[in-house]
């Protein structure tokens, strides 16, 4: 095991190596990022998903974690920290903005006292145990974003984090090409690179191009402009602000999470919003429509976010009016399309004009497209390529691209979360995938429910339930009528007849068992009801019978 | 009411005027199309959605329906016929291929004896009551597709059906531009036109371009090629066949619905598949991989379709092998993205290379894009424009386009399903929307469940249920222990402790009620449990308590 560098991507069902990566050499462990995933549509009732880091809880590993390095302040990179810091006490390293957002998060979860936050700036060099860590600046959709060069005894690895090669980001801080070239000069053992847009040809648009798109929207809109985006998409708030300034509009921010993020970014100097550009929502709704921009949360169609409430007429301060222009400045995350389009339709129904990325230049991705991914590979020229950040299909496309660029197939590792990769200065070995994977957060419980409970919920979601409680006298007769109750199965009118039939089925089963000299069981009643209800309705509710 | 032509679009929650349109003049009624919608992700447990046509069931209207005119044989235009023909006995008019597919469908639903099927060909003239109907050929993704010119006493209306202006369709039968121009010459009162791609700039790709894309796939694939598409996308089967012939591969068809559709299309001469090009699946799996193409269902990620089963290794004849190339020749229907991408990842995991529309030219839409929609408007030059086929957002974009082309705003009607539009030779009036909307098909029931039941299912899906049955002696004590049962709420280990606590909560509530001289009710136990369970878990299962 000595001399071997172990890299272990952790995370959810979809993206690989996105939410957390473990880097281990000898006695020392680094963690890169600790984010959450959002559940897919069929993970019923699940609130969040966090990486399953039980690998770190085995043996004495938790005491060997030297640092938690954070690339940037988006939820899918920091959202699991409140859970992680309960288990692992290691200092958290991040840039000032990233740490500002983390501080806010840990204060809310009441974990702030448990952790040490250590600030760094891109370009600094941090020594931790046997590791020399060089954060380098990258462009993404939040400011102060880094990737990491990590020199280990096995060699130098480069972890890009989320990035794009934006030459004209809105904060005028382009990615650090020179540092990447310098790494390349020194010789890079392995590149862990963002694969998110591996199915997107060309080069991702610059944030500055987007400013042009926003200006066009502002030029054409005569009424209010409502811009929906992610709460933490600070760069987008900056673009809206620049456009607002130019077109003499004031900005209001609606939605607590976005207000928090903006406040932190402004305080730390990452967001250039003059005080007199900002108004509060109460003021904004009283101003002439042509003088207002309102930034809101809810760009993924979330019904409880500000835009979702506006779409249904359920916001207490603000309502959509004819003449409003609503801008979706975000791309649908797969699985959210239906809710987003429904929200757009509802907004139209209330008289708004709605602009979204298919019909207006109001969003650019924060991730590198194929040509940028090629540039990254050729800038860094790693011995080994480890595509990360993306679903398996993206990683495979990234791997194929690496091959096209001349990296031999055996030097590219496409793995799934939980699969350790071992590196020496001249070899890479993919180990067997570890058991486990991800953990559901459900209500107050973390890891308390799993797929078994989700499958039960799915069955209930398909056809509801049917409960029966019956009393027998032990001589084949029912005492009184059975108590029957059902929900999500049939409507009440239909239920009435069904319930009558079900009473007979129960009475019959009880009588039959008695005549056969058997004792009637809950299970027998359940089978009889199952058959009857399926014959009548072609549906299979969850059935529970209790015979007293 | 006399002299007034009434147009009533019916259908589901999403697309408008897609699945069914009622056209009524005086005593005579025509129905155009009778399709189904598929439920959205939050319509839990619902199998299908059909238009709510109770308007036709009121008064003597059902006896006044003279004909059901069908534009083409896709499910969203014919799928509701098995339900509709139970209620309305009018002849069904369609082109030969469309009727072939309808016949198959009604035979399966055992309704075939109830109906008269009347065949026509594009270009014919059909007189029905006061209506003169002129079906005209359009290009779409299934052959033998028409729109309708319908001359009524109020004027000529043109209903495009689903269309695109494909100059080089794979069946070499371009749309009938001349007929549209002729309508225009005669003067068109109203145009009902497909809005599906109103957010897509430019011109939709031709099926013939797609052939180029397919040939590239066939040229590069060394192993088997598996093409997934809609069962009824006959044109796509033709393209695969042309490519297969060129590259010396045989075709097998997997999936009953696709086999049926292909069989009908071949029998009627709409699909040019030489007998020796086709092999059955059993043969195909034994042939050298480079000589085989397999067409499969499941392009929307449906777990039970052939591709879904292949992705999970659950098909009894076929399994994915390293070297297979899987082609998704379909665009994700909004709401299906997550399932589709999951299927793609699963296929990669089994060693396949997967091509889909973002990374290969393997799909073109069957619907007109913005420039084609403009051409349609300018070819037909209607007095009134009624955008249909699309969600509200598409209709609004289509309407804005009509305005750009010079149609005054007051001559454009964007309405939702269930909203009657009344036309005279020189006026258009939008009436109030009728109550109702769409009907859920759930198991054997049609319209038996509604949103109330779906909401119950949603609650069950969020946190499952908790069920308690307790026996009291009427003096504040429980007889024996309460029977508690729960599902989809917490896992069993956690449940054990919770259940113990719940027993105490019940006993306490019973005792307290007795001491206060009240009779304990089911509702009181339920509230006590609700509070206890929420405090413990932050979840709200459906709770039912029965006190005996």
Tell me, rounded to whole angstroms, the distance of Cα A233 from its chain centroid.
14
CB-nearest to A41 from B338, B494, B539 is B338
What is the helix (H) or strand (E) element at residue A94, kind and residue range? Answer: strand A92-94
pLDDT of residue B1: 47
CB-nearest to B460 from A199, A334, A464 is A464
Q: Count CB pairs under 8 A between chains A and B.
A: 192
Distance from CA of B449 to the nearest CA of A (A): 5
Contact residues on chain B for A41, CB-CB shorter than 8 A: 41, 338
Cα separation, A479 vs A475, whole angstroms: 10
DSSP string, A273-300: --GGGB--HHHHTTS-GGGEEEEES-TT
CB-nearest to A461 from B44, B359, B539 is B44
CB A338 within 8 A of CB B335: yes
Q: Along the 548 residues of chain A, how does pLDDT read in single tens digits?
A: 457 999 999 987 788 988 999 999 999 999 999 999 988 888 888 888 999 999 999 999 999 999 999 999 999 999 999 999 999 999 999 999 999 999 999 999 998 998 999 999 999 999 999 999 999 999 999 999 999 999 999 999 999 999 999 999 988 899 999 999 999 999 999 999 999 999 999 999 999 899 999 999 999 999 999 999 998 888 899 999 999 999 999 999 998 999 999 999 999 999 999 999 999 999 999 999 999 999 999 999 998 899 999 999 999 999 999 999 999 999 888 888 989 999 999 999 999 999 998 889 999 999 999 999 999 999 999 999 999 999 999 999 999 999 999 999 999 999 999 999 999 999 999 999 998 788 888 887 787 788 888 889 989 998 999 999 988 888 888 888 898 989 999 887 777 888 899 999 998 998 888 888 888 889 889 999 999 999 988 889 999 999 88
CB B467 within 8 A of CB A469: no
The C-alpha angle with vertex B480 and arms to B476 and B481, in degrees rounded to 5, equals 95
> In terms of Cα–Cα distance, which of A125, A72, A141, A128 is closest to A100?
A72
Distance from CA of B448 to the nearest CA of A (A): 6
Beta bridge partners of A546: A469
Q: Centre a 10 Å sphere on the Cβ of residue B285 and count the other Cβ atoms it contains.
A: 18
Distance from CA of A159 to the nearest CA of B (A): 23
Taking phi over 0 as left and psi of -120 to 50 as alpha, with beta for the rest, A6 belongs to: beta
> In terms of Cα–Cα distance, which of A38, A36, A30 is closest to A52?
A36
> In terms of Cα–Cα distance, which of A486, A484, A487 is closest to A503?
A484
Contact residues on chain B for A403, CB-CB shorter than 8 A: none
Report the chain A residue with the minimal C-alpha distance to residue B490.
Answer: A449
Distance from CA of A158 to the nearest CA of B (A): 26
Cβ of A457 within 8 Å of Cβ of B460? The answer is yes
CB-nearest to B338 from A334, A448, A453 is A334
CB B37 within 8 A of CB B48: yes
Cβ of A40 within 8 Å of Cβ of B485? The answer is no
The C-alpha angle with vertex A68 and arms to A65 and A72, in degrees rounded to 5, equals 165
CB B384 within 8 A of CB B189: yes
pLDDT in tens, B308-334: 999 999 999 999 999 999 999 998 888
In the 8-state DSSP scheme, what is residue B478?
B
Could you tell me the two tokens for B194?
Answer: 């497909």
pTM of the model: 0.90
Q: Encode burial over B62-71: b for 16+ CB neighbours within 10 A, e otherwise.
A: eebbbbbbbb
Cα separation, B191 vs B294, whole angstroms: 41
Domains, in order of start, for chain B:
5-202+365-446 (3.60.15.10), 207-355 (3.40.50.10710), 464-547 (3.10.20.580)
Cβ of B537 within 8 Å of Cβ of A334? The answer is no
Cα separation, B395 vs B400, whole angstroms: 9
The C-alpha angle with vertex B427 and arms to B422 and B431, in degrees rounded to 5, equals 30
In the 8-state DSSP scheme, what is residue A204?
P
Tell me, rounded to whole angstroms, the distance of Cα B466 from its chain centroid.
36
Burial class (CB in 10 A: 0-12, 13-18, 19+), B416: middle
């Amino acid at each position: 095991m000595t001399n071997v560098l172990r890299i272990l991507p952790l995370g959810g069902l979809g993206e690989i190596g996105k939410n957390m990566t473990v880097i281990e050499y000898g006695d020392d462990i680094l963690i890169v990022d600790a984010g959450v995933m959002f559940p897919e549509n069929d993970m019923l009732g699940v609130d969040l998903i966090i990486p399953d880091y039980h690998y770190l809880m085995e043996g004495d590993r938790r005491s060997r974690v030297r640092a938690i390095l954070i690339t940037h302040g988006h939820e899918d990179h920091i959202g699991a920290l409140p859970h992680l810091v309960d288990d692992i006490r290691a200092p958290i390293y991040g840039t000032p903005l990233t740490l500002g957002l983390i501080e806010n998060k840990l204060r809310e979860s009441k974990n702030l006292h448990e952790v040490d936050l250590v600030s760094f700036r891109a370009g600094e060099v941090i020594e931790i145990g046997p590791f020399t860590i060089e954060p380098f600046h990258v462009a993404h959709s939040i400011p102060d974003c880094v990737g990491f060069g990590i020199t280990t005894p096995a060699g130098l690895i480069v972890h890009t984090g989320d990035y794009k090669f934006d030459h004209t980001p809105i904060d005028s801080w382009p990615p650090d090409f020179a540092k990447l070239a310098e790494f390349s000069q020194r010789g890079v053992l392995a590149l862990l690179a963002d694969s998110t847009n591996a199915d997107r040809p060309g080069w991702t648009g610059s944030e500055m191009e987007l400013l042009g798109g926003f200006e066009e929207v502002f030029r054409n809109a005569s009424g209010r402009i409502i811009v929906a985006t992610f709460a933490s998409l600070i760069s987008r708030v900056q673009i809206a602000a620049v456009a607002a300034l130019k077109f003499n509009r004031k900005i209001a921010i609606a939605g607590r999470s976005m207000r928090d993020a903006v406040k932190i970014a402004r305080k730390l100097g990452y967001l250039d919003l003059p005080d007199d550009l900002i108004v509060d929502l109460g003021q904004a709704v009283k101003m002439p429509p042509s003088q207002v921009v309102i930034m809101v949360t809810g760009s993924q169609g979330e019904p409880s976010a500000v835009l979702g409430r506006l779409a249904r007429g359920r916001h207490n301060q603000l309502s959509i009016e004819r003449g409003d222009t609503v801008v979706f400045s975000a791309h649908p995350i797969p699985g959210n399309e239906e809710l987003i389009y429904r929200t757009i339709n509802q907004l139209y129904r209330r008289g708004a004009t709605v602009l979204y990325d298919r019909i207006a230049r109001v969003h650019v991705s924060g991730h590198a497209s194929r040509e940028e991914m090629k540039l990254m590979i050729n800038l860094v020229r790693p011995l080994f390529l480890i595509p990360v950040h993306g679903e398996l299909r993206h990683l495979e496309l990234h791997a194929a691209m690496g091959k096209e660029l001349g990296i031999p197939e055996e030097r590219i590792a496409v793995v799934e979360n939980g699969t350790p990769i071992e590196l020496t200065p001249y070899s890479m070995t993919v180990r067997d995938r570890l058991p486990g994977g991800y953990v559901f957060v459900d209500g107050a419980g973390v890891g308390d429910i799993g797929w078994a409970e989700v499958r039960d919920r799915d069955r209930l979601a398909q056809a509801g339930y049917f409960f029966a409680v019956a009393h027998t006298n032990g001589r084949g007769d029912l005492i009184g009528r059975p108590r029957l109750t059902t929900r999500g199965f049939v409507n009440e009118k239909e239920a009435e007849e069904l319930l009558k039939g079900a009473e007979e089925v129960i009475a019959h089963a009880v009588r039959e068992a008695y005549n056969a000299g058997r004792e009637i069981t809950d299970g027998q009643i359940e089978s009889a009801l199952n058959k009857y209800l399926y014959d009548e309705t072609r549906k299979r509710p969850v059935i529970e019978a209790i015979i007293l």
